[in-house]
Amino acid sequence: MVRGRISRLSVRDVRFPTSLGGHGSDAMGGAFPLQHTDPDYSAAYVVLETDAEDGLKGYGITFTLGKGTEVVVCAVNALAPHLLNKDLGDIVGDFRGFYRQLTSDGQLRWIGPEKGVVHLATAAVLNAVWDLWAKQEGKPLWKLLVDMDPRKLVSCLDFRYITDVLTEEEAYEILRKGQVGKKEREEQMLAHGYPAYTTSCAWLGYSDATLKQLCSKALEDGWTRFKVKVGADLQDDIRRCRLIRNMIGPEKTLMMDANQRWDVPEAVEWMAKLAEFKPLWIEEPTSPDDILGHATISKALVPLGIGVATGEQCHNRVIFKQLLQAKALQFLQIDSCRLGSVNENLSVLLMAKKFDIPVCPHAGGVGLCELVQHLIIFDFISVSASLKDRYIRGVGRVCNQMETRNSFCF
């Protein structure tokens, strides 16, 4: 049983100087020197305390790139009055209502709504609530979700603006069907983990020599799926893609990521020239807001065997709804702390299931990998029941087979 009243919400601005090593650099630095060339992987880090005697705390983050973390921290503080002195039982007992309260604050809503800084802050705060709930139940988050009654689970989700695609009743039906074979899939996850891929070897900031060295190391470590950043310079991309494809051979999987570098016609032309390297997908070919643009790109590239992947900067369920409606993507990439925490992520997992589109979550540094594994393990056990075309992004120590850890984050 959940217990305690929220007695304290603290938030910290945590930054790591990852820009010093060129890690995380992508094509947005190509033509304009001030874009994504110098990310400092960071987080607004929320800690919730209660007056319960168990002394348990809830930890939640949203991921940031350095500057601007203080803006998100400011937004977290603006949301804090909605939590302070509230019973955790009242929050999770009407989690849909509480989600709506946070995202529809009469004054704060204007500076969103449900997007950008306020939504990142909402994610950090609600991630902490979910963490606290899971800890009080003595379970990792994925297990809390897997064990939860489907009726209770859908009652946590806000279906506003998505009922034309997914009603509460349809969501319930999906989860009810997901109960079949659940136990076996849970055992499978515990025994074998979830498939992952690596981005660690092909950031744009790396030299060819570094790239070769990291690629060899990743092959040695047993990685079978590789992602390369593209979009700054076509000839450079051709050289790097050839290098990697030659190193990994024809059987292993190559993904490409343009980090929103292109306009729509440019994306189609550019990727036609990289098709020979057989990428599974092109990720973020253009603006994350451009649903119709992604649909156009998808229509042109699918006949070439290239899927479109996007989502790490898609700001809410309404955007994902439309990407699915418009057949604008073949791989859907949720972000565990850009969407409004578990609540909104689950509604997107359920819509993806309805459209039979695989979910391959965004991850990266500063706890993203930790957060996202819970969502995707739940997705496999209780929603999709499939591993076909599904990979989680991992970096650093996370390997081909994701471990399931014993806490939601960190």
Which residues lie near a copy of itself (CB under 8 A)? 28-29, 32, 34-40, 63-68, 70-72, 74-75, 78, 97, 100-101, 104-120, 160-164, 260, 263-266, 286-293, 296, 313, 315-316, 318-319, 321-322, 325-326
Cβ-contact 320, 296 below 8 angstroms? no
Q: Which two tokens stand for residue 263?
A: 């306009």
Q: Report the C-alpha gap between 66 and 91 in whole angstroms.
A: 31
Indicate which residue of 139, 229, 294, 374 is catalytic.
Answer: 229
For residue 31, what are the CA distances in angstroms to 80, 172, 284, 366, 391?
40, 47, 17, 28, 31
Q: Rounded distance, CA 386 to CA 21, Å?
A: 37
Q: Answer whether 167's CB lies under 8 Å from 159's CB.
A: yes
Residue 334 CA: distances (Å) to CA of 16, 311, 313, 314, 393: 23, 5, 9, 8, 11
CA distances from 169 to 17, 255, 313 (A): 47, 36, 29
Helix (H, G, I), strand (E, B) or coil at 281: strand
User: Considering beta carbons, is residue 263 or 403 the nearer one to a copy of itself?
Assistant: 263
- In the complex with a copy of itself, which residue's Cβ is closer, 143 or 321? 321
Backbone Cα Rg of the chain: 21
Nearest approach, Cβ of residue 86 and a copy of itself (Å): 13
Supply the minimum distance, in Å, between the C-beta of residue 278 and a copy of itself.
27
Q: Tell me how far, at minimum, the Cβ of 54 lies from a copy of itself, in Å.
A: 30
Smallest distance, Å, CB 361 to a copy of itself? 17
Q: Which is nearer to a copy of itself, 296 or 384 (CB)?
A: 296
Using the minimum distance from each CB to a copy of itself, give the nearer residue, 224 or 287.
287
Shortest distance, CB of residue 53 to a copy of itself, whole angstroms? 32
Which DSSP symbol is given to 402? P
In this structure, are residues 40 and 17 in contact, taking their beta carbons and an 8 Å threshold?
A: yes
The residue (of 93 and 181) whose beta carbon lies closer to a copy of itself is: 93
Question: Where do we find the tokens 């020599």?
Answer: 209
Cβ(226)–Cβ(202) below 8 Å: yes
Tell the smallest beta-carbon distance from residue 195 to a copy of itself (Å).
Answer: 27
Q: 162 or 381, CB closer to a copy of itself? A: 162
Task: Give 118 or 228: the residue with its C-beta nearer to a copy of itself.
Answer: 118
Report in angstroms how near the CB of residue 31 gets to a copy of itself at its nearest: 9
Residues 113 and 294: their CA atoms lie apart, in Å, by 23
362 counts as catalytic? yes
The crossing angle, in degrees rounded to 10, of helices 291-301 and 317-325 is 40
Q: Residue 184 corresponds to which amino acid?
A: E
Distance CA 11, CA 288 (A): 28
* Preceding peptide of 17 cis, ω within 30°: no
Which residues, 6 or more positions from 304, have their beta carbon under 8 angstroms from its beta carbon? 271, 272, 275
Beta bridge partners of 15: 42
Which residue, 119 or 227, is less far from a copy of itself as judged by CB?
A: 119
> Rounded to the nearest whole angstrom, what is the least distance from the CB of residue 322 to a copy of itself in the complex?
5
Separation CA 375–CA 198 (nearest Å): 19
| Catalytic residue set | 229, 362
